[in-house]
Amino acid sequence: MKRKQQYGSVTNVTKMLSDRAYWDVEGILRNRLRAAPQFVDFIDLETELKGHNGCVNCLQWSDDGHILASASDDLHVKLWDPFRHTQLHDIATPHEGNIFSVKFLPQRGNAVLATCAGDSKTFVFDINRQDENPTRRCVCHLHRVKRLATSPRNPHLFWSAAEDGVVLQHDMRVQHTCNQQDNNVLIDLRNYLWVSPEIKCIAINPQRPEQMAIGANDCYARVYDRRMISLSRLYDPREIGDGLVVTTRIDKIPNDGCVKYFCPGHLNGDEKVNMQYNFKTITYLTFSPDGTELLVNMGSDHIYLFEINGSRQPVFLELPKLPPTSNGETNGCVGGEKTKHKFPPDVEQLKMEGNDNQERSQYLQAINKYTQAIRKANSKDCAILYLNRATALMRRDWYGDAYAAVRDCHTALRLDPHYVKAYFRLARALLKLEQSKEAQLCLDELIQRFPSYAKNQGVLLLGKDIGIELDKQRVRASESRFSIYEGNYFHDKEKGWRAKAIDYEKRFVGHCNTKTDIKEANYFGDSNYIVAGSDDGRFYVWDRHSGLVTASYKADELIVNCVQPHPYVCLLATSGIDNEIRLWTPKSPEGKFERKEKHLDACVSENQTRMKADPFEEMTPGQAICRAS
């Protein structure tokens, strides 16, 4: 007879699941259930939490998920019971500017919170005290403090990131007097970035708390190893000198090994993107729950996912070696296909639908169909699907589409080095990216590898277009000494870090992020979904694996900034320019979904048009005040 294994005096399965040995198993099950498609596909508005008298700029769940904290332009922090839809506490803070971040300090019983605001101040509150005066004050920052970060593994520490380009470390065990004598500066971008750096967001890796990510008013997400950085004293640049370039504090520049940069390949090295009114800036970033990915919401652009330990470098031109063929035939020509590609019926149907969409100039729908087909097909046989998607991307021409087309062309050529049409499309995409020299090299290689196409009409026309662009570049180079983009704006180490920046793995397109610099993007559930707010008053849901938009919901009259998933159940809290906080939960499939957008493709297309417009032209006076305050 098999001996029954004993767990102390417990033999009841339910009791065992609530005991120590099975918490991780139960947690895995809970994670899967809270983001199961059957739940996420049927979320809708559950209730509105009313009480604030201004824009709600930040939301934060307590670690146990029992309390939701919110903070607003009305300078109040409110605590809510999300399940009973009731207000638990109201803190009238002494802030004198819009509150941008509120955080529960870990392992403090949901009673201690930190806040930061546009008045450059950071406060800590203990709601168990009789009075509501802050228990800790910090006024060290010189400009608006935009975000706070905490780590459950460092319960006595929290960090603040501000538009003065500085990250401060706050140690609750040490008294602070704000006399600029404390060693509390962890990161100071002013030491090696001399164009008024502004830090907009900050995050701590939940699995490796030594890793800290920050986003600033450029297109580079920076991940630091805190163990390799020494704390230093804060300095005021006004004490050093006026002007664009200040004296560099060489001794305070981090070592090469302590920081890693991440940037979409098409933006890396292009300082011009920061000189336009629709500049690129990182409004929010967060690590994945398992700590292996970094999700970045890029202002005036899209949402990007990076692998923390990845090594993908931006590639514009990298042609595979041409293996010999038995019959000398190629898989395609510039004018049309020679070889028929056989796919399973479901994949073939998606391909045909994508082709039909492309012929009708419905490029968004075509890209979605090709993406679905690629996920279903055998990756070794779908070069044509990647190339078709690259063609649709080029014709759609949204931000980053040309570079995404370059990546698809490279994939198609890796799968089939004899694919002539892929060489042609790659050269055209490189020209679109103003990589004219690389485009010429690609076209030259096409002619060298496949001489019969040297007189092809399409090849000749592309060669002419490349020649025209090369002439323009020579003229611009001769006038570069008058260019506003020329100048020594970065320390040499900063240039080196940017040159080694890691490229993105996935891109999520659909929302619009131009009118505010606090717009979030987060993992939903067990990371199968991505959620983010938008300038059109909606929040969007993407399938993390395919990158496709799965749903959109009307959540604000003007702009949705905050999207915070509950840590344990399928519950989402959102807020924005409206005074209300909205909670979203699954409903019965037979119910009415009044908030779910029925014309999803139209909303996505309108957002891309909106993104290229001057954001201030569309603002109402109230919106302009909310952004500027």
Q: Is residue 592 part of a domain?
A: yes
CA distance 306 to 300: 18
Nearest of 485, 564, 511 to residue 286 by alpha carbon: 564
Q: Which tens digit of pLDDT belongs to each residue from 46-79? A: 999 999 999 999 999 999 999 999 999 999 999 9
Torsion of CA 312, 318, 319, 323, to 10 degrees: -50
Q: Is residue 114 part of a domain?
A: yes
How confident is the model at residue 4, as a pLDDT? 41
E strands, 466-607, are 506-508, 521-524, 529-533, 538-543, 549-554, 560-565, 572-576, 581-586
Q: Is residue 468 part of a domain?
A: yes
Q: Is residue 587 part of a domain?
A: yes
**In 3-state terms, what secondary structure has residue 581?**
strand
Displacement of CA 245 from its chain's centroid (Å): 30
Please answer whether residues 603 and 597 qualify as being in contact, where contact means their C-beta atoms are separated by less than 8 angstroms: yes
CA angle 177, 183, 186 (to 5 degrees): 120
Which CATH number do you get for residue 430? Answer: 1.25.40.10
């099975």: which residue's tokens?
Answer: 22
Same domain flag for 506 and 475: no
How confident is the model at residue 491, as a pLDDT? 85
- The two tokens of residue 402 are 């040309």
How confident is the model at residue 27, as a pLDDT? 56
Which CATH number do you get for residue 308? Answer: 2.130.10.10
Nearest of 175, 131, 137, 138 to residue 156 by alpha carbon: 175
Say how many C-beta atoms besides its own lie within 10 A of residue 239's C-beta.
8
- Weakest-pLDDT range from 20-24, 139-143, 156-160, 234-238: 20-24
Please answer whether residues 303 and 293 qualify as being in contact, where contact means their C-beta atoms are separated by less than 8 angstroms: no
Same domain flag for 252 and 126: yes
How confident is the model at residue 591, as a pLDDT? 67
Place 125 in a pLDDT band, splitting at 50, 70 and 90: very high
Same domain flag for 227 and 306: yes
Q: Is residue 329 part of a domain?
A: no
DSSP class of residue 512 equals -
Say how many C-beta atoms besides its own lie within 10 A of residue 256's C-beta.
12
pLDDT of 275 over the 80 cut? no
pLDDT of 25 over the 80 cut? no
Place 437 in a pLDDT band, splitting at 50, 70 and 90: very high
Say if residue 227 is exposed, middle or buried (CB neighbours under 10 Å; 0-12, 13-18, 19+).
exposed
Angle between helices 383-396 and 401-415 (to 10 degrees): 160
Say if residue 515 is exposed, middle or buried (CB neighbours under 10 Å; 0-12, 13-18, 19+).
buried
Residue range(s) defining the domain that contains residue 563: 37-239+248-313+501-612
Nearest of 529, 510, 520, 512 to residue 575 by alpha carbon: 520
Give percent above pLDDT 70 in the chain: 82
DSSP class of residue 90 equals E
- Domain total of the chain: 2
Same domain flag for 414 and 468: yes
- The two tokens of residue 214 are 């920050």
| Residues making up the chain, counted from first to last | 629
Place 276 in a pLDDT band, splitting at 50, 70 and 90: very low
Same domain flag for 470 and 537: no
Same domain flag for 465 and 550: no
**In 3-state terms, what secondary structure has residue 152?**
coil
Q: Is residue 628 part of a domain?
A: no
Same domain flag for 290 and 233: yes
- The single-letter code of the amino acid at 383 is A
- The two tokens of residue 253 are 């520049």
Task: Give the helix, strand, coil percentages of the chain, each rounded to 5.
Answer: 30, 25, 45
Go through 125-138 and write b for each residue having 16 or more CB atoms within 10 A of its CB, e for each that does not.
Answer: bbbeeeeeebeeeb
How confident is the model at residue 252, as a pLDDT? 65
Same domain flag for 295 and 354: no
Q: Which tens digit of pLDDT belongs to each residue from 397-431? A: 999 999 999 999 999 999 999 999 999 999 999 99
Residue 442 pairs with which residues in a beta bridge? none
Please answer whether residues 110 and 123 qualify as being in contact, where contact means their C-beta atoms are separated by less than 8 angstroms: no
Q: Is residue 459 part of a domain?
A: yes
**β-bridge pairing 560-565 and 572-576:** antiparallel
- The two tokens of residue 389 are 């998607």
Same domain flag for 231 and 201: yes
Place 526 in a pLDDT band, splitting at 50, 70 and 90: confident
Same domain flag for 416 and 519: no
Q: Answer with the residue of higher pLDDT: 548 or 234.
A: 548
| Contacting residues for 72 by C-beta, under 8 A, at least 6 apart | 52, 53, 54, 55, 56, 57, 78, 98, 99, 579
Q: For residue 503, report the phi and psi dihedrals to the nearest 5 degrees.
A: -80, 165
Same domain flag for 141 and 278: yes
Please answer whether residues 264 and 299 qualify as being in contact, where contact means their C-beta atoms are separated by less than 8 angstroms: no
Q: Is residue 617 part of a domain?
A: no
Q: For residue 58, report the phi and psi dihedrals to the nearest 5 degrees.
A: -155, 145
Same domain flag for 211 and 79: yes
Q: Answer with the residue of higher pLDDT: 108 or 426.
A: 426
